[in-house]
Amino acid sequence: MDLVPALDEPLKKVLGPATAKVMAEHLGLHTVGDLLHHYPRRYEERGQLTHLADLPMDEHVTVVARVADARLHTFASARAPRGKGQRLEVTITDGSGRLQLVFFGNGVHKPLKELLPGTPAMFAGKVSLFNRRLQLAHPAYELLRGDGEETVETWAGALIPIYPATAKLESWKIGKAVQTVLPSAQEAVDPLPPALREGRGLLPLPEALLKIHRPHTKADIAAARDRLKWDEAFVLQVALARRRHADAQLPAVPRRPRPDGLLAAFDDRLPFTLTEGQRNVSREIFDDLATEHPMHRLLQGEVGSGKTMVALRAMLAVVDAGGQAAMLAPTEVLAQQHHRSIVEMMGELAQGGMLGGAEHATKVVLLTGSMSAAARRQALLDLVTGEAGIVIGTHALIEDKVQFHDLGLVVVDEQHRFGVEQRDALRGKGKQPPHLLVMTATPIPRTVAMTVFGDLETSVLDQLPAGRSPIASHVVPAADKPRFLARAWERVREEVANGHQVYVVCPRIGDEESDPRSATKKPSPEDEAERRPPLAVLDVADELAKGPLRGLRVEVLHGRMHPDDKDAVMRRFAAGETDVLVATTVIEVGVNVPNATVMVIMDADRFGVSQLHQLRGRVGRGSAPGLCLLVTEMPEASPARQRLNAVAATLDGFELSRIDLEQRREGDVLGQAQSGARTSLKVLAVIEDEEIIAEAREEAAKVVAADPELASLPGLRTALDALLDEEREQYLEKG
C-alpha cells in the first residue's frame, strides 16, 4: 500500500513503545494516520459541565465537573485493624447532579492535596452503584487549572475533545498524543475528486482533521464532520460501485422459463394465489435471470412474507431453462425443513425419474454432512448427471467433491450466517458464474442495504400472505411480578387444551462443561446480580415437565443433538405429537408449524432485537392468533427492558431493524461480523445520514463509470487501499 509516509509512520516511533502498545491493543490504532482518524466522541465546553444524572451504569466514562467537597474518613479493616484505613470521598457536581468519587489507602494522598472544593477537572472511570448512589472508584483525573506550560497549551481551547477511551488510556492522554501528531495532518492526501469537493462546499481533508481535533467553535466541528462523513460514505460506495462494475463484465448463461414447463405446471397446482408483492419481486428476478450477466439480488422481507415461495419459483425457472439450482441453508434443521416443504409444495413435480413423477418433474435432493455414505453417494451422482434439478444443503454443498452438471442459480438463505468465502466457493461450481439470490428474513433499513449489500440489487417483500394471523406480544417481568410468569404457564396449558402447540426458547443448552478458570475467580457483587448463567434448555424442560406443565408432552431440541434425533423431534412436533418444544435458537428461521400458537422466550433480554423478531415469526402461521411472551428478570428502567418493550410494541421488522441498529451502532459495515464491536464508520451514522449515503452512491457510480481503475484519482485509490485491507478487499470481492 503506498500510503503517505508521514501518516504511515508507526505510533511507537512517535509516542514511544508503551503508549503505542496500549493504543494498538485496546483501540486498534497502529499508525499516525490511524490516530488522526480516531475522532472525538463529543466535546465539553469549558464553562458548561457534564450532565451527571445521565451517566450509563458499568461503562467507562469521561466527565468534566467541579469539586463540591472532599472528606477523609478513617476505618478499621483486615489490613488496617487499628482504624488506620483511609478512604477519601470527593463529591463532584455539574450544578444539577452530583457524583461520588472514592479513593482508598495510599491512593488518597495526591487527590486530597489536589481536589479542593471549586476545582474544575476531567475525571475518567467506570460508573458503579454503591448504597444506591452512582460513584467512580479510583478515577483517573486531570485538573483544568492551566498551571504548567503544557496544560495551558493543551486546554487553552474553549472546547475540550472527549475521545473514545479505555480504562488503560484516558481521553486526555489520547488528546495529548493527537496534539503530537496533528502537524502530520497537512500531509493527508484528499480522496475526494476536487470537482465533487468544491461543488459541495466541503473542507479540504487536512483542514477537516485540524478542526475535528482542535475546534475553536461549534461551526468548526460541524464543517469537519460534514467533510469526514462524505469521505466515509464516498470511499465505501466507490468500493461497492467497482464491485458492481466488475460483476457487470462477467458472462452468465441467460435462463428463461419455458411457457409450458415446470414453473407453469407448479403455478397451476398452487392452492392459493400469490400476493402482488410476490408477483412483482418474481418479475424482477426473472428479468435478471434472462440477462447475460450474473444476477446479484438481495431478497428481503418480513418474517413469513413468503420468500421461500419466490425463491422456489426462481429455481424452477432455471431448471426449465436446462440448468440446476442450489439452495444453501445455515443449519441442518433448516436444510431438512426446506427440503421437506419444497418436496411437499411440488408434489409429483419433485419425483423426476420415478414412478408417478409428472411429465416435467425433476429430482429435489438434500445434501448435508450427516447423511449416510450411500445416500450421499446417490445425491452426488444425481448432481453430476443433472438428474437432480434442485439441491438443498448446508456447507456440505461447498466441498470439493460436489460437482454440478450445470449450476445456474445459487440461493443463499439467511445471508448473515454465511461467510463470504462459502458463497464464493459455491459460485465457483458453475461453468460460468451462476446467478445469485441472497435471502434475508431480517428486514434491513434502505441505507444499510445500500451500504452492507451495496453490490446487490434489492427486492423487498412487505405484504404478508392471506390467512396469516396477528401475533400479540407481551413482556413478562419475572423478577418484579412472579405471578405474571405463573400466568404465562397457565396460558400455555390453555393453548394446549385447545389443541395447539407451544415453543419455549432458552439461550443455552445446559450440558456445557463449566470453565474451571471462571470458578476460581470471585465475581464482584454487581457481576453476581447481573450475570447469573442464562437459562438452559435441559434445566427448563425438566422444571416445566415436573412443575407448571406436568402432564403435557414436553420435548427438547438443540444443536448438539444427533441430526437424525433433531429431525425426528421436528417431525413429531410438526405432526402434533408433542405439546411443548423447549429449544435453543435452532428453530429461529424457516421452521413452519402452523399449529404452534405460543412462543415463550426465556431470558429474552439475552437475545438481539432481530433474533426476537425472527423467533416470534414462528407462531401465528396458521388461522389461530399467535402469542409471544418475552420473559425477563431485568429491572424496568434498564436498556434491556426498553429493547423488549420496543419489540412488544411493533410487528414491523423494518422499524425494529432501525431500533436495533441505533442501539448497536453499525458494526463494522464491511466486516463479516456485523456486531457493533468495531466499526469502520467513525462519523457516518447509517440511519441518520441516509441522504449523504444515497448521494455518495450516485457520485461513486459516475466516477467508476468514467474511470473504473481510478487512474486519474490517486488520492481516492490510496483511501480505498486503506479501507480495503486484505480481509475487506476479499469481502467485497466475494460479496
Backbone angles phi, psi at 315, to 5 degrees: -65, -40
Cβ-Cβ contacts under 8 Å for 466 (sequence gap 6 or more): 272, 275
The predicted structure's pLDDT at residue 667: 45
Whether the predicted pLDDT of 679 surpasses 70: no
Q: What percent of the chain has pLDDT over 70?
A: 83
**In the structure, what pLDDT confidence band is assigned to residue 148 with cuts at 50, 70 and 90?**
very low
Per-position DSSP letters for 335-391, written without gaps between them:
HHHHHHHHHHHHGGGGBTTSTT--TT--EEEEE-TTS-HHHHHHHHHHHHHT-EEEE
Mean pLDDT of 579-588: 85
Widest distance between CA atoms in the chain: 97
**Going by C-beta distance under 8 Å and a sequence separation of 6 or more, which residues neighbour residue 472?**
625, 626, 627, 628
Look-up of cell digits 438481495: 298
Report the pLDDT value the prediction gives residue 46, as an integer from 0 to 100.
57
Residue-wise pLDDT tens digits, 152-204: 344 444 688 888 877 788 888 898 899 899 998 888 888 899 999 999 999 99
- pTM of the predicted model as reported, rounded to 2 decimal places: 0.68
Contact call for residues 252 and 427 (beta carbons, < 8 A):
no
Residue 40 vs residues 31, 61, 213, 556: alpha-carbon distances, Å: 17, 13, 7, 49
Give residue-wise pLDDT tens across range 36-84.
989 998 887 755 556 777 777 777 778 888 899 999 988 766 666 655 7
Q: What is the pLDDT of residue 527?
A: 40
Nearest to 386 by CA among 362, 360, 414, 422: 362
Whether the per-residue pLDDT at 517 is higher than 50: the answer is no
pLDDT in tens, 327-370: 988 888 888 888 988 998 898 888 876 655 667 789 999 998 88
pLDDT tens-digit readout, 397-455: 877 788 999 999 999 886 555 555 666 676 777 778 899 898 887 777 766 777 766 77
**Taking 60 as the threshold, does the pLDDT of residue 3 lie above it?**
no
- 86 vs 358, higher pLDDT: 86
Please give the pLDDT value at position 467: 67
Least reliable range by pLDDT among 318-322, 539-543, 678-682: 678-682
Pair 227, 209: CB distance under 8 Å: no
pLDDT of 105 reads 83
Residue with cell 450466517: 417
Sheet containing 501-505, strands listed edge to edge, beginning at the edge strand earlier in sequence: 471-477, 626-632, 596-601, 501-505, 580-583, 554-557
Q: What is the mean pLDDT of the chain?
A: 81
**Which residue in this structure is represented by grid cell 467537597?**
69
- State how far the Cα of 701 lies from the Cα of 144, in Å rounded to an integer: 49
More confident residue, 338 or 510: 338
DSSP state of 49: P
Q: What is the DSSP letter of 51?
A: -
State the average pLDDT over residues 655-660: 77
Closest CA to 92 of 146, 42, 58, 55: 55
Q: Tell me the C-alpha distance between 265 and 268, whole Å.
A: 5
CA dihedral 686, 730, 679, 218 (to 10 degrees): -60
CB 39 within 8 A of CB 683: yes
For residues 555 and 578, the answer to whether their CB atoms sit within 8 Å is yes
**Residue 520's pLDDT band (cuts 50, 70, 90):** very low
> Could you give the CA distance from residue 552 to residue 568 in angstroms, rounded to a whole number?
19
Q: CA gyration radius for the chain?
A: 30
| Residue among 224, 154, 188, 189 at smallest CA distance from 36 | 188
How does residue 526 score in pLDDT terms, banded at 50, 70 and 90? Answer: very low
pLDDT at 666 over 60: no
Q: What b/e sequence results for 279-298 when a residue is b if at least 16 CB atoms lie within 10 Å of its CB, and e otherwise? A: ebbbebbbebbeeeebbbbb
d(CA 499, CA 481): 29
pLDDT in tens, 203-256: 999 999 999 999 988 899 999 999 999 988 898 889 888 888 888 888 889 999
With a cut of 80, say whether residue 465 has pLDDT above it. no
Residue 316: predicted pLDDT: 95
299: left (phi over 0), alpha (psi -120 to 50) or beta: beta
- Please tell me the predicted confidence (pLDDT) of residue 82: 59
Question: Per-residue pLDDT tens for 631-652?
Answer: 998 888 788 888 899 899 988 8
Supply the pLDDT for residue 323. 93
Please tell me the predicted confidence (pLDDT) of residue 669.
45
Which residue, among 667, 613, 649, 666, has the nearest Cα to 301 in the 3D structure? 613
Per-residue DSSP letters for 616-655? HTTSS-SSSPEEEEEEE---TTSHHHHHHHHHHH---HHH
